[in-house]
């Protein structure tokens, strides 16, 4: 059977499992819908948290980033890993002790203000929608390649699946679905890693193969060979860094702090029975996450090595089948600038903008004299003729390495599991923010449990539709979009939560002013460089050399400064609020 048949089989089986779990675990009340009744075991919650945390950015895009950025791509690995440790130590047990449903709920009660609660809702919605855009793009990527449908259609299919189990089961359905999704995604990520590691180095353990010598008898280390291939083609060495030190620091810090402020991860610790269980589930989640995160750099190196060995300075007509099938998705494109039929891979962009494939009136792809797919975009300046979307590296890896078809189908199912698990968690945050923190707490305080549950499902349905739009029209590649979401979380939520737990004298005026200042500053910076004036998105125009991916750290500092400055002008919080903060700090 070919890759497409295997993909249909494996994706069909996994989707049937997800839907079956959603029907079995249908939420019967708001407690089930918001926090799964707080009856989830630490092991189950740890696995669900790992799936919620390891999104399409972790599964699809992180290895792709490291493949193309080399050493510089490690900032994502360090930031996301360190951030989860920060979350485990500083937030999880204290927020579980607080015992509410949502982060805006904590902010509203801690800062004794419905206006603060509303600001929390706005922050949660902006962060979650920015993050979910990357997940839905990941879903579209998988469907477009392996099921041969348009990316937009793939996003719509993903929306339908998430709609079913998120709206029906809420947190209860999502939790048990995410357990299944973790099993799928980690198996799908590790199987090709074992295969390719053994194929390239003779060592089946990818973490060890990554630092081993090649099995071709040359005695050369894999990373040494990658450095050689890079420098021969005019790139910087794979193991060298090109980013400035301050940008590396700010991006890593934004990812770390943003992790600790992500509402869809924090809410997972409200689902366990006790504070002790929150700590234990954090430990389990760290183990489950580490399996993938220690493998990603190896996957990145294997994929880049195989691609460069296959493609560079080779005749197009001798390319293997995988090259042509990925070309037809528009995610990999060759533009023969010198008309010699040989693929030149060198530094620089191959085309202006993303590739737009030329088709005839029958919808068939138009090919050039060498058989290459034709694009409507004009070739960019420079010698490079090859365009590769970074997000395809994990998906294409099994085919590039000539692994069995079922492995490629398995990776497709894993990519969908990673994207859908995180998308569901994010959509739940949006729906609970609307139904609980706006409607129940502010607009209609006497609403019944049944009516609140209905509004939660309506809000989830609306969130799915908006998420689908952002998936079809994303502002960047998956990991880039997710990095921006982390920056927004760092600049808005994190200072308010940390000060709310550890500084009992922080008042509502200071916290509100800080959240608004941090969010608006970070949002304005990102919009300016990413949307309004992308031509200025380069180090010479950035403030202090800080990229939009790292600006959330500066936004967090601004948030803290404004919070303390404004807080000193107004009275201290009421005595009962300060006593509540004291009690939160003692988890037992």
Mean pLDDT for 541-564 is 89
H/E stretch holding 390 reads none
CATH 3.90.1150.10 assigned to domain 3-303+406-525+570-584? The reply is no
SS (HEC) of 139-200: HHHHHHHHCCCCHHHHHHHHHHHHHHHHHHHHHHHHHHHHHHHHHHHHHHHHHHHHHHHHHH
Q: pLDDT, tens digit, for every residue of 341-370?
A: 888 888 888 888 778 888 887 777 888 787
Please write the tens of the pLDDT for every residue from 268-307: 777 777 777 777 888 888 889 889 888 989 999 998 988 8
Report how far residue 441's alpha carbon sits from residue 434's, in angstroms, rounded to the nearest whole number. Answer: 10
Q: How is residue 64 written in tokens?
A: 């792709």
Q: For residue 478, what pLDDT is reported?
A: 47
- Rounded to whole angstroms, how far apart are CA atoms 260 and 246? 21
| Residue 569: CB atoms within 10 Å | 10
Instruction: Give residue limits of the domains in the chain.
Output: 3-303+406-525+570-584, 311-400
Taking the C-alpha atoms of residue 82 and residue 88, their distance in angstroms, rounded to an integer, is 10
pLDDT tier at 197 (50, 70, 90 boundaries)? Answer: very high
148 pLDDT band, cuts 50/70/90, is low
The answer to whether residue 386 scores a pLDDT higher than 50 is yes
Question: Which of the four pLDDT bands, split at 50, 70 and 90, describes residue 49?
Answer: confident
Q: Within 10 A of 82 (CB to CB), how many other CB atoms are there? A: 17
Decide: 386 and 334 in contact? Cβ < 8 Å. yes
Is residue 587 packed enough to be buried (19+ CB in 10 Å), middle (13-18) or exposed (0-12)? Answer: middle
> What percent of the chain lies above the pLDDT cut of 70?
91
pLDDT, tens only, 313-340:
788 888 888 888 888 877 888 888 888 8
Rounded to whole angstroms, how far apart are CA atoms 396 and 326?
8
Say how far residue 333 (Cα) sits from the centre of its chain.
Answer: 25
pTM, rounded to two decimals: 0.81
Q: How far is CA 49 from the centre of its chain?
A: 14
The lowest-confidence range among 65-69, 159-163, 266-270, 478-482 is 478-482
> What are the CA-CA distances from residue 247 to residues 43, 315, 382, 524, 542 (Å)?
37, 39, 27, 18, 10
CA distance 518 to 145: 39
If 0-12 CB within 10 Å is exposed, 13-18 middle and 19+ buried, where does residue 339 land? exposed
Residue 561 has pLDDT above 80, yes or no: yes
């Amino acid at each position: 059977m070919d890759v497409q048949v295997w993909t249909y089989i494996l994706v069909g089986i996994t989707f049937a499992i997800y839907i079956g779990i959603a029907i079995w675990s249908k939420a019967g009340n708001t407690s089930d819908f918001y926090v799964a009744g707080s009856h989830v075991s630490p092991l189950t919650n740890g696995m669900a948290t790992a799936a919620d945390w390891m999104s399409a950015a972790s599964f699809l895009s992180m290895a792709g980033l490291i493949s193309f950025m080399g050493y510089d791509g490690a900032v994502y690995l360090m930031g996301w890993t360190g951030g989860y440790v920060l979350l485990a130590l500083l937030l999880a047990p204290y927020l579980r002790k607080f015992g509410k449903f949502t982060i805006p709920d904590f902010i509203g009660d801690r800062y004794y203000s419905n206006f603060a609660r509303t600001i929390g809702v706005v922050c949660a919605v902006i962060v979650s929608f920015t993050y979910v855009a990357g997940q839905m793009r990941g879903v579209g990527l998988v469907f477009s390649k392996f099921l041969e449908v348009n990316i937009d259609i793939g996003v719509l299919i993903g929306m339908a699946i998430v709609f079913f189990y998120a709206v029906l089961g809420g947190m209860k359905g999502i939790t048990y679905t995410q357990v299944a999704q973790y099993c799928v995604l980690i198996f799908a990520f590790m199987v090709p890693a074992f295969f390719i590691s053994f194929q390239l180095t003779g060592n089946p353990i990818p973490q060890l193969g990554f630092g081993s010598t090649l099995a071709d008898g040359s005695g050369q280390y894999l990373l040494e060979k990658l450095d050689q291939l890079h420098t021969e083609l005019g790139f910087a060495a794979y193991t060298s860094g090109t980013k400035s030190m301050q940008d590396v620091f700010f991006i890593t810090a934004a990812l770390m702090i943003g992790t600790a402020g992500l509402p869809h991860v924090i809410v997972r610790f409200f689902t366990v029975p006790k504070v002790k269980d929150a700590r234990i589930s954090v430990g389990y989640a760290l183990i489950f996450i580490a399996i993938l995160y220690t493998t990603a750099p190896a996957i990145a190196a294997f994929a880049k090595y195989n691609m460069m060995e296959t493609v560079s300075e080779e005749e197009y007509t001798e390319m293997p089948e995988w090259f042509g099938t990925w070309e037809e998705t528009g995610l990999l494109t060759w533009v023969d600038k010198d008309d010699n039929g040989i693929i030149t891979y060198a530094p620089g962009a191959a085309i202006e903008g993303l590739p737009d494939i030329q088709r005839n009136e029958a919808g068939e792809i138009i090919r050039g004299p060498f058989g290459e797919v034709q694009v409507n975009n004009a070739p960019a300046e420079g010698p490079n003729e090859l365009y590769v979307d970074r997000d395809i590296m994990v998906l294409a890896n099994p085919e590039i390495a000539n692994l069995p078809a079922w492995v490629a189908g398995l990776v497709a199912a894993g990519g969908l599991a990673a994207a859908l698990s995180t998308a569901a968690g994010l959509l739940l945050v949006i729906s609970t923010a609307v139904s609980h923190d706006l409607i129940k707490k502010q607009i209609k305080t006497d609403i019944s449990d049944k009516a609140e549950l209905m509004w939660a499902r309506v809000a989830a349905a609306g969130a799915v539709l908006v998420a689908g739009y952002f998936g079809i029209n994303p502002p960047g590649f998956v990991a880039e979009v997710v990095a921006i979401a982390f920056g927004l979380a760092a600049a808005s939520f994190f200072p308010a939560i940390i000060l709310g737990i550890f500084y009992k004298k922080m008042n509502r005026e200071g916290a509100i002013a800080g959240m608004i200042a941090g969010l608006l500053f970070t949002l304005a910076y990102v919009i300016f460089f990413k949307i309004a004036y992308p031509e200025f998105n380069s180090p010479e125009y950035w403030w202090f050399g800080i990229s939009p991916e790292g600006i959330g750290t500066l936004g967090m500092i601004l948030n803290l400064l404004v919070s303390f400055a404004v807080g000193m002008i107004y009275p201290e919080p009421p005595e009962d609020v300060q006593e509540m903060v004291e009690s939160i700090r003692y988890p037992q």
